[in-house]
Structure 1
């Protein structure tokens, strides 16, 4: 044993004491654990910012909503599963976040619907349920419903992996450009880069 030390007995003979070697190993392991915990604490103290993940049509045609729809196609779900495995779950684990903000963005095309029932029906929506019978009358409401739809699916994946992460759906309508700046899209805009879902990772405390 490399770290074993010799001790000298009464007769002057030297012998190996293996316990001193084990003590050195345990001390080194304890030091590594303490250093790792210190690095995690330091990273939190520095408030390292997790990356923003965007689901856009320009990145993948799968992340496309049908015009005026907030339903998720099977292609959308498959692509979201891949992003969850490759990007979303690793980000949660790397940055120790417990909240995902799901933000729905739309283009500037006016919505033809004239009646909305969201004020009466949103109280019945849960992230573990479904979206049925909901009518919207604006891009702000459409962005919110798309965010809720994506949030519902993410919630099911998080619960399956037993990750204690909350979902907060929001709508930005057509107000923010790709850089996150306040820049409302023109009312006649059919800009596919504006139609997206942003995922922001935060901590509740």
Structure 2
């Protein structure tokens, strides 16, 4: 009788331990399930956050790169010929920035805009009407153009930068798929984006080349 009681006691203890083990196993499985759900939610959250950040980057306006007309990067007065050190600056500093921003913002058009100050450009007779296309097609160099106005000079300097970029495009695997456009703002636009008042004094802060990134849409005719 004693043996039977002892046997029953041991059997009950084993049953309790088995039930406890099952309980712990189930608890562990539930905990793992919650952990897995939390990990999935975290991954989804991170994915959505990354997508939102990427979308925000693409929708945000791209930056404007500025080549200031100062120091070793200055054009000679009235000239659009690029100094050798400025050529290297464009290749080593500006080109990587163009590649980075065109990829980041999914852009294929790069606008180069020449800005001057308000000094008069003398009494030179412009020959841009006769030779502008030849320069754009690299048939003749920019330095054969003669600027009759600041509008001419700004365009000539923009074209000079475009020629450097196109040359890099043709002779290397860089800047592929990009279109470059040259424009002139002459002395009209200040660095802060506002229209300039009349000022015929030399002002290095206004002389610059701006590199802008655009996504051109299809032209429409407004009637």
TM-score over 0.5 (shorter chain)? yes
Distance 1:100 1:120, change over 3 A: same
Partner of 2:213: 201
Secondary structure of the 2:85 match is helix
In the TM superposition, residue 47 of structure 1 has moved relative to its aligned partner by 2.5
- Find the counterpart in structure 2 of residue 78 from structure 1: 88
Instruction: Tell me the equivalent position of 2:60.
Output: 48
1:68 corresponds to: 78
Q: Which of 121, 133, 151 matches 1:140?
A: 151
Match of 2:130 among 120, 125, 147: 120
User: Which structure carries more strand by proportion?
Assistant: 1
TM-score (normalised: structure 2)? 0.67
Unaligned runs of 5+ in 1: 1-27
Matches within 5 A, 1:5-16: none
Q: Tell me the TM-score normalized by structure 1.
A: 0.72
Contact 2:79 2:143 in 1 (8 A): no
Q: Is 1:158 the counterpart of 2:169 in the alignment?
A: yes
SS of structure 2 residue aligned to 1:103: strand
- d(CA) in 1 for partners of 2:55 and 2:109? 18
Q: How many residues align?
A: 170
Specify every segment of 5 or more residues in structure 2 that has no aligned partner in the other structure, as ranges: 1-39, 218-223
Where does 1:164-179 land on structure 2 (aligned, <5 Å)?
164-179=177-192
**Structure number with larger C-alpha Rg:** 2
Pairwise CA distance, 1:201 = 0.5
* C-alpha RMSD over aligned residues: 2.7
Question: Aligned partners of 1:174, 1:40: CA distance in 2, in Å?
Answer: 40
